[in-house]
């Protein structure tokens, strides 16, 4: 956020756009649309949430979730990635929408899309905030929050306590799978569980080839359509689930059934191990030659079916892609199902 914008917004929690709503007396209330990141760390220090203290304006010193305005042409997720990069010099992975907060401040109406997020790269360097803290769940009510952010705190605590059923999600992100800080990422494995090329090679090297190879050799192998689990070792993800997809041979050798099973078994392994977030590559669509459209169709159906079969089990599903065309195909199919 620029100094010019800061000066303009001394009494407002975030940047405004040019929209407004008419009040009963005919006046126009300023309408503010922003995004906020609930950055969560479950890996090394328990379950903690990152919060910042405002460094300017009427609300100086009060606590909030980092974020900012949505620029023209941006999706909320894109805006949030940009704002955190600018404010905290950190790259994040944006997860599911927690809630859209609608709050009337005295001079304007705030609409704030709030997302779960995890750190991909960076150390949360403060560029605008006065202070920052990692807060455990039982510490969230112990700081002086901005009013709208306090609503979000209550939503987070309700979800955490199980007072509301958490909503599962499927998202597609342009990000390398070894950068996903989730409970597990899925390796597009071969049936020998050897270090291979493509996604498999990246995951082995990211985790540490020696450690991952040793763990896979203890398992010994994995049939096509099945999945097994190992630690994530040096990866941001806690675990790696190794799923073996089929080689495409024209579609007459049970390829769709085997591919569906690879996704399904990965999700079941995650559930059996109490994991609630998982990152997938587009299995079999690389060197195994599965057509991209068909691979997406099977992948999304398998994930949707899992969420329908286990509606009370929260699962954040992220598809990692690095190709814009593949991402666009997946997003179009996701909207259709």
Domain boundaries, the chain: 3-161, 169-336
Distance CA 78, CA 173 (A): 10
pLDDT for the residue numbered 220: 95
pLDDT for the residue numbered 107: 82
- Give 111's strand partners: 33, 102
With a cut of 50, which residues of the chain have pLDDT below it? 1-28
Which 8-state DSSP code applies to residue 145?
B
Backbone angles phi, psi at 52, to 5 degrees: -125, 155
Q: Which pair of tokens denotes residue 101?
A: 């907060």
Distance CA 271, CA 254 (A): 26
Residue that the structure tokens 């041979």 belong to: 249
Measured CA distances, 68 to 61, 78, 133, 227, 331 (Å): 17, 11, 19, 40, 25
In sequence order, what are the residues at sequence separation of 6 or more whose Cβ sits closer than 8 angstroms to the Cβ of residue 163?
Answer: none
CATH topology agreement for domains 3-161 and 169-336: no
Return the CATH architecture of domain 3-161: Alpha-Beta Complex (3.90)
Distance CA 43, CA 229 (A): 17
Enumerate the H helices of 89-208 as residue ranges. Answer: 147-161, 198-207
Enumerate the H helices of the chain as residue ranges. Answer: 3-8, 76-88, 147-161, 198-207, 209-219, 255-272, 292-309, 324-336
Is domain 169-336 given the CATH code 3.30.450.20 in the classification? no
Instruction: Round to the nearest angstrom and report the end-to-end CA distance of the chain.
Output: 38
Helix, strand or coil, per DSSP, at residue 137? helix
Cα 117–Cα 118–Cα 120 angle in degrees, nearest 5? 130
Backbone angles phi, psi at 203, to 5 degrees: -65, -45
Distance CA 67, CA 76 (A): 10
Q: Which pair of tokens denotes residue 197?
A: 């090329």
- Give 147's strand partners: none
H or E element: which one contains 67? strand 67-69
Determine the angle formed by the axes of helices 198-207 and 209-219, rounding to 10 degrees.
Answer: 110
Distance CA 46, CA 257 (A): 39
Distance CA 273, CA 319 (A): 20
pLDDT for the residue numbered 318: 93
R_g (Cα) of the chain, nearest Å: 22
Q: Which pair of tokens denotes residue 325?
A: 């065309």
* Cα 251 off chain centre by: 33
- Give 34's strand partners: 69, 112
């Amino acid at each position: 956020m620029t100094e010019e914008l800061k000066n303009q917004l001394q009494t407002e929690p975030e940047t405004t756009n040019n929209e407004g709503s008419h009040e009963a007396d005919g006046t126009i209330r300023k309408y503010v649309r922003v995004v906020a990141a609930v950055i969560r760390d479950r890996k090394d220090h328990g379950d903690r949430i990152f919060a910042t203290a405002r460094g300017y304006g009427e609300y100086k010193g009060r606590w909030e979730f980092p974020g900012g305005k949505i620029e023209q042409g941006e999706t909320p997720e894109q805006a949030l990635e940009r704002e955190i990069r600018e404010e905290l010099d950190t790259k994040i992975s944006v997860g599911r929408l927690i809630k859209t907060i609608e709050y009337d401040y005295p001079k304007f109406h705030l609409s704030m899309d709030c997302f779960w997020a995890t750190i991909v790269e960076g150390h949360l360097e403060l560029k605008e905030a006065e202070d920052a803290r990692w807060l455990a769940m039982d510490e969230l009510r112990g700081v002086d929050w901005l009013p709208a952010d306090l609503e979000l705190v209550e939503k987070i605590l309700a979800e955490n306590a199980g007072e509301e059923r958490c909503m599962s999600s499927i998202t597609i992100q342009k990000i390398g799978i070894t950068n996903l800080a989730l409970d597990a990422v899925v390796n597009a494995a071969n049936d020998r569980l050897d270090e291979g090329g493509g996604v498999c090679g990246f995951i082995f090297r990211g985790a540490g080839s020696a450690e991952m190879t040793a763990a896979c050799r203890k398992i010994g192998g994995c049939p096509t359509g099945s999945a097994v689990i190992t630690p994530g070792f040096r990866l941001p993800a806690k675990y790696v689930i190794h799923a073996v997809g089929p080689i495409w041979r024209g579609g007459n050798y049970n390829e769709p059934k085997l591919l569906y099973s690879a996704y399904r078994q990965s999700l079941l392994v995650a559930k059996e191990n109490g994991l609630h977030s998982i990152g997938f590559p587009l299995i079999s669509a690389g060197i195994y030659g599965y057509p991209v459209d068909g691979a997406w169709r099977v992948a999304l159906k398998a994930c949707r079916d899992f969420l329908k079969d286990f509606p009370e089990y929260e699962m954040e599903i992220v598809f990692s892609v690095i190709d814009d065309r593949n991402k666009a195909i997946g997003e179009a199919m996701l909207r259709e199902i």
